[in-house]
Amino acid sequence: MNSPIQFLGILFLIYLTIKFKRLWSIYISILIMSDCFGIVDRNFLSFNGLNFKWFYASIFILVGIIYNYSFFDLKKINSKKITKLNYLVILFTTVQIISLFLTLINGYSLFSIIPFLEFVPFIFIIPLTHIFYNTSYKELEKLQRYIVSLTILNCIIFLLTRFNLISFYDLNESFVGVDRDLVRSLTGWPIFLPIVFAQFYLKFNTKANKKIISILFLFLLVVLFSYTRSKLLSFGLMIVFTHILFTSIRIKTILKVMGGVLLFSIITLSLFEKNVTAFTERFSNEKGVDTVDYRYLGAAERISKTLNENPFFGLGFIYKNDADKLHLQYRSDLLLFPDMFWPNLISTTGLVGTVVFLYLLGYIGFLFFTKKHDINAQYFIIYLIGTIALTAASGHIFFRQSIVFSLLTAFHIALIYKKQNILKLTT
């Protein structure tokens, strides 16, 4: 951090903490997850080359949980669906603990706790739902409003950085080569953009105005300038499923969507030819670390090794320093494959963990679908679709970023049930 603007920005974000009575610690955790909404570099909290921001975020979540359970009277949500969700979360966490225990007794180092702690925050869904449900609706709306406003700010910072108009951080240090001639950097990426995009796109379909259109255009520019095919696909699916699930499918609507897709394609082809070329080269037969074949072979190798050695609870949470003991051919320096989530899930928790996680994820989707008349449920369903789409291209979407998913899951469940309870009381 070498700019007075960054320093003042952080001071302002910290100042906003006093606006919260119960959620101040959780708000600080959100600042850490989002790199202060793009104001600081993602390695701002690194130590000896290791980025501990997700652990710091978890610590502040724990502080918030202890604070709320210690100083406030928390009422239980009277719902069998929530009770079942809690049981599933506990079951999945139990499988993770068993997998970690087996990792340690098999002679791997205590550093195995690091990937375990990155994946275990699903357990936060239980206490966070409880806390959010017992927080005033006004404070919940304030947190939601801050996330939306600061994510928009994050998007502006992201674009200004790409256009070299500001220099909050050095992008050259985080450029990633993609295929032959395309480089990209996701430093400063607005981590809460998917859920905020879902909110604005749903609003766009009900009451479009200049403000909403301008903000959506900003979001689409951010997605395009990420130079990331998986994000293009993810947001594209979010748009399509918004119309399939929550808007009346008419000829006029279909023509609008087709026109939007056509315009989107023209912009992509004309401005990002390298991106399109890199995408098509993924399906070539050339050997490389970033081809579809390479990802498939890396995933297949890990799944095969898991099924042979410990099909029930997996190979475990093996840290990268111990990965050479596995004698892997593809990305032998680490077990957790960086480009796909599902082989990582199978490798760490085995078939038992995979089945439980699929059931948990499906049940979360089912829970929100049963409340899809509520606008907050609609926001989360669209976000969930986009997140699941990213699992095919991101190995960390439910690992390092599991705390983000857990927080948003708990927040939207609490909003829905709290609003439902308010409606009962008023009628």
DSSP 135-190: S-HHHHHHHHHHHHHHHHHHHHHHHHHHTTS--SS-GGGS-EEETTTEEE--TT--
pLDDT in tens, 35-62: 999 999 887 877 776 778 899 999 999 9
Mean pLDDT of 129-153: 96
DSSP for residue 1: -
Cα(3)–Cα(388) distance, rounded to whole angstroms?
37
Using the predicted structure, report yes or no on whether residue 184 has a pLDDT greater than 80.
Answer: no
Phi, psi of 214 (to 5 degrees): -65, -45
Least confident of 126-130, 150-154, 345-349, 393-397: 393-397
User: H-type helices in 80-124, by residue range?
Assistant: 80-105, 113-119
Cα(118)–Cα(109) distance, rounded to whole angstroms?
16
Using the predicted structure, report yes or no on whether residue 243 has a pLDDT greater than 90.
Answer: no
Given pLDDT bands bounded at 50, 70 and 90, which one contains residue 358? very high
Q: Would you say 248 and 389 are in contact if contact means Cβ atoms under 8 Å apart? A: no
Residue with tokens 């070539």: 284
pLDDT in tens, 275-314: 555 555 555 555 455 566 777 788 888 899 999 999 999 9
Least confident of 155-164, 173-182, 283-292: 173-182
Residue 15 makes CB contacts below 8 A (sequence gap 6+) with: none
User: H-type helices in 209-341, by residue range?
Assistant: 210-224, 229-246, 251-271, 273-281, 292-309
Query: Model pTM?
Result: 0.90
Using the predicted structure, report yes or no on whether residue 427 has a pLDDT greater than 50.
Answer: no
Q: Would you say 41 and 169 are in contact if contact means Cβ atoms under 8 Å apart? A: yes
pLDDT for the residue 183: 53
Given pLDDT bands bounded at 50, 70 and 90, which one contains residue 224? confident
Given pLDDT bands bounded at 50, 70 and 90, which one contains residue 111? confident
Phi, psi of 303 (to 5 degrees): -65, -45
Q: Which amino acid, residue 131? A: I
